[in-house]
Amino acid sequence: MTHKLYIGTNTKMFQTGNEAEAYIRRMDELIDDIRDRLEFFFIPSYTSLERTAKAVGDRIRIGAQNMAWEDRGQFTGEISPLMLEEIGVRFVLIGHSERRHVFRETDKDEARKIRCAADHGFTSLLCVGETAEQKDRGLAAESVVEQLNLSAGTLSPEEVSGKLWIAYEPVWAIGTAGVPAGASYAEDMHGAIRTALTEMFGAYGKDIPILYGGSVNPSNAADIIARRGIDGLFIGRSAWDPERFDSIIREVLPIFESRSE
Ligand code: PEP
């Protein structure tokens, strides 16, 4: 077994700095004996980045929930890559469903952010996912492939190597109103994403990790991770209690490692 399980959480606008620091210190202890088998990451609010990064050093990858596409400028309320770099954060979530659907970001916005992140040598976790309407119209794979092309199409194969991760997060599956995707549906969509990435980036596209996200919880995590082509899990609510998250990780890790691919 050479590859690691990608797994982590985004805390959205929930944890304060004190809460985020206590949480990540506890996760750091809990995963200590298995951390070498994981690509574990934590994506807290901006105000928690510096203190959580200091708390865990290079043992846990800390990422930002968003980033501006310019280094400096008249962009009130935005955070630039220079500001993230200054505090040692070089991993960024781009195009989360809530950014796209609550804050109306477009694929063009995500493309600028992905470009800017690549120019700074950051690793991007790009989220893609179809809406319920697109799924009902039979356009799920097509919509997701279009998002990939529009958002990441300017990257060169060399730029994606180790620096682009994808989270497949169907919009209808995320959050308190979400219905988790069935495992075989997720497997099919991951297959379509892999095909698109290989078309876009050739051999480099085969190594881009594709994580599933959207209402992963203790009762469906094992079924999902058992499926071919699912390289990891991106979990919201079910990851925010450290003991609960640790028990999900320990359940899925041996299943992932015993997969034959
Ligand atoms: C998310 O917001 O990316 C997410 C996967 O959340 P949840 O697990 O709570 O659906």
For 202, the token pair is 């050739």
Evaluate: CB of 169 within 6 angstroms of ligand 1: yes
Partners of residue 41 on adjacent β-strands: 8, 61
% of the chain exceeding 70 in pLDDT? 99
**DSSP 3-state percent helix, strand, coil across the chain (nearest 5):** 50, 15, 35
Q: Which atom of ligand 1 is nearest to the CA of 12?
A: 2
Evaluate: CB of 10 within 6 angstroms of ligand 1: yes
pLDDT band per the 50, 70, 90 thresholds, residue 2 = low
Partners of residue 91 on adjacent β-strands: 123
Residues 213, 186 contacting (CB under 8 angstroms): no
d(Cα 186, Cα 199) in Å, to the nearest integer? 20
pTM: 0.97
d(Cα 120, Cα 49) in Å, to the nearest integer? 18
| Ligand 1 centroid to residue 16 C-alpha, Å | 18
Probe residue for ligand 1, chosen from 7, 12, 216, 241 as the CB with the greatest number of ligand atoms within 8 Å: 216
Alpha-carbon separation of residue 230 from 236, 240, 255 (angstroms): 17, 22, 12
Alpha-carbon separation of residue 148 from 19, 37, 117 (angstroms): 34, 28, 16
d(Cα 73, Cα 75) in Å, to the nearest integer? 6
| Ligand 1 centroid to residue 233 C-alpha, Å | 10
pLDDT digits (tens, 9 = 90+) for 178-225: 999 999 999 999 999 999 999 999 999 999 999 999 999 999 999 999
Q: Which CATH number describes the domain made up of 5-260? A: 3.20.20.70
Mean pLDDT over 116-142 rounds to 98
pLDDT in the model for residue 1: 42
Rg for the chain, CA atoms, rounded: 17
For 219, the token pair is 């009762």
